[in-house]
Copies of this chain bind each other. A is one copy, B any other.
Amino acid sequence: MLAIGTTKNKNEGRRRFSDEQIRFLEYVFETQSRPELRMKQQLANKLGLHPHQVAIWFQNRRARSKSRQTEIEYNNLQQNYDTLASKSESLKEENQALLTQLQTLRELAKKQQGNITTRHDFTNKSSNKELSGMISLSMTNNSTLLSENYNHQITDPFKDNTSYAQDDGRIIDTEDQRGSLVPNHPNWWEF
Residues of A within 8 A of B (CB): 20, 23-24, 26-27, 29-30, 33, 39, 42-43, 46, 61-62, 65-66, 68-70, 72-74, 76-78, 80-81, 84-102, 104-105, 108-109, 111-112, 115, 119, 121, 123-124, 127-128, 130-131, 134, 137-138, 141, 145, 150-152, 154-158, 161, 164, 166-174, 176-177, 181-182, 189-190
Q: Choose from B77, B93, B98 the contact partner of A99 (Cβ within 8 Å).
A: B98
What's the least CB distance linking A162 to chain B, in Å?
Answer: 13
Known: A81-B77, A115-B123. A100 touches B177 (CB 8 A): yes
Collect the chain B residues with CB atoms within 8 Å of residue A152's CB.
Answer: 87, 89-90, 93-94
